[in-house]
Every structure is written in C-alpha cells, then in structure tokens.
Amino acid sequence: MTLLSVEGLTVELPGSARPVLDTVHLRVAAGEVVGLVGESGSGKSVTARSALGLLPARAHVTGRVLVEGKDLVGADAARLREVRTSVASMVFQDPRAGINPVRRIGDFLAEPLRLVKGWSRRQAEARALELLAAVGLPDPPRHLRQYPHQLSGGMLQRVMIAGALAGEPKLLLCDEPTTALDVSTQAEILALLGALQRERGLGMLLITHDIELAAATCDRVYVMYAGRIVEEASAADLFGSPRHPYTRGLLGSTPPLTGPMERLHPVPGAPMSLAESAPGCAFAARCAFAEPGRCDQAPPGLLPLPAAAVPSTAAADPTGSADRRAACFRVAELPAVVTSEVAP
C-alpha cells in the first residue's frame, strides 16, 4: 500500500529565481525504507515537510501530496491534524532543537497523548513508559522525570523517536536523524530506527547527505539536485551502477566503506542557490558530460532508463532494475561505471 505519493510537486517562493521543488515525484509504501539524498539546499527537508502539510505559507504550490491516497495540498486543519497525529511523523536532525528544555521528558511525551487522544495522566504516563522502553532507554521511570539537559544527545534522539512513535504512525520521516550525533551513537540510532521500522512495518523516508548510508539502509533511493529528482533506483542499482552524472559524482566523492582508500573526486563547483536558475539541466554547469547546445537548453525529464543504459547485471536481475529512472539527456551514451571508478 502506498502511504505517501508526491506527484509533480512544485513549490515556488516569492523572490527566488527557481522553484524550491520542481515537479518532484516520490513515493513510499508501507514497510519500505526510501532514501532521499542530495546536497545542502537541494530541497530534501521541504519534500519531507510536504507530507505533514508543512510547506511554507507564502509558497505557490502545484502538484499533489497524497497521504494514504488523499491530497494534503490545501487540506483543512482537521485533516492535517489527523495526518500529523496518526499517520505520519518526523524525526529531526537536532534533538535539542525540538524539545522544550524546561519541561520534563514525561510531559513532552504524555502531554500530546492527553490533549490529542483525551487520555488520563495515568494512561498517558503508562504509554510514555512503554515508548521509552521501546526505544531502548535503560531506566524509563527515571527518564520520565528528567529534563532534556540531563540526557546525552543519543539518549535524547531516542526520546524524540519515542515521541514520533506516540501516535502510532504508519510513516516515519527521518530528516538527517543522526547528523548531530557522534559516529558510534549514529550507528545505534540507525539500528534502532531499522528495528522499529521492521517490527512495526513502517514506511520510512530517510533523508541524508550520505549516499553510502542510504545505499546500505534503504530499499530505494531518490537523488535530488536543485529541487529536482535526478535519479531513482533500488539501493543496489544506485550504488552498484549510478547513472546520473551527479550520482556518479556523489559516489566518487565519498571514501569507500571497505577496501583500499583511493583518490577521491569531489564534484566540482557549488550547488545552485535559490537566487540562480538555469534554462536547462541544473547540474550542467558542474557536469563533466554536459553537451553545450543540448543540456543547457531545457531540463531533462525523469524518465525510465532506456534498455541500452541498464547495466547487464541489473537487467539480469528481475528485482533489481524496476523503477530505474534518471533525468539526463546523455544517460544512454554514458559509459557504465562501477562504484570505484565513478569519476569521469
């Protein structure tokens, strides 16, 4: 069952030279972990926030954001409340930014249950204890009485995940949930999210800068550049054989997790700001494969890969090549790559 289906979503802000999101298509099904990868400012958070009806108020929005089949664009307050309390919830990057520092953890978890579900204090506290245990905190009764500053960043992110689970959502939107944490805590939080996702059959959208992390944890991955999806593939295909020049660049600029360290090839240039626009492919100015007179004229659509561009390993695997799309005029002409040779 599709939980979230973003269809041709375009979000324009007054005063910017290009849309924040430009005809974005993305879907997340129940039980599926979907990655959304891209550089800072590419529009990942705005995409995730659209699933909670949290697009900027002054934005001009076209397209649809279907949550369980019903459009959230222009939805009334009652529908938005229903989605935010019992369908979708978000885990943010910095747990300290999302919690009131002068309220106890118990109040943070129990208050929404009392207000939204009308539960008694006792019922809400019992549920808060269950939630703290579910996210692996060692002493739930003590944590209920603690303040945020008494917990480490990793413990507090577990509290935030408990808060996100309180309404028993079907869809968890994780916006860089581990970037503010140290490396070993990052691994623990990712393992916890993975375990909760599998146990509860949640649909999950995992936003990250880290394409290798997405490849290791997700079923499918979308790569975003300057507000557009430029590649969509199963994690195995994306990592094993990236097709869009930007994806190739991202994989070529991250150190390998295993094997010998090779020379890294950073993507040249800088991401496009909202004050800049381009009539053609937004990546053309940084792309080693760009063809003047073609790539800089009109934006390429996000299209299924032509048969010639599907690597033979993926084509041979009936589960591997479904949903492979790329937005690149030259995708069929580019040489196939393996991940250790992604730079042109």
> Which positions touch Mg ion (CB under 5 A)?
45
Minimal distance, residue 305 CB to ligand ATP, in Å: 25
13 binds, among ligand ATP, Mg ion, none (CB under 5 to 8 A by kind): ligand ATP
Do residues 4 and 28 lie in contact, with contact meaning Cβ atoms separated by under 8 Å? Answer: yes
Block residue for tokens 């506290």:
125
Q: Rank residues 21 and 105 by Cβ distance to ligand ATP and give the closer one.
A: 21
Q: Rank residues 45 and 234 by Cβ distance to Mg ion and give the closer one.
A: 45
Q: Rank residues 209 and 265 by Cβ distance to ligand ATP and give the closer one.
A: 209
Minimal distance, residue 337 CB to ligand ATP, in Å: 25
Do residues 259 and 338 lie in contact, with contact meaning Cβ atoms separated by under 8 Å? Answer: no
Do residues 26 and 48 lie in contact, with contact meaning Cβ atoms separated by under 8 Å? Answer: no
Pairwise CA distance, residues 28 & 203, whole Å = 6
Quote the tokens at residue 189: 């939080």
Q: Rank residues 39 and 111 by Cβ distance to ligand ATP and give the closer one.
A: 39
**Could you tell me which residues come within 8 angstroms of residue 40 by beta carbon, excluding any fewer than 6 positions away?**
209, 271
Q: Rank residues 13 and 29 by Cβ distance to ligand ATP and give the closer one.
A: 13
Minimal distance, residue 16 CB to ligand ATP, in Å: 7
Minimal distance, residue 52 CB to ligand ATP, in Å: 13
Binding site for ligand ATP (CB under 6 A): 13, 20, 38, 40-46, 56, 209, 274
Longest dimension (CA), the chain: 68
Minimal distance, residue 180 CB to ligand ATP, in Å: 12
Q: Of all helices (H) and strands (E), which one includes residue 153?
A: helix 153-165
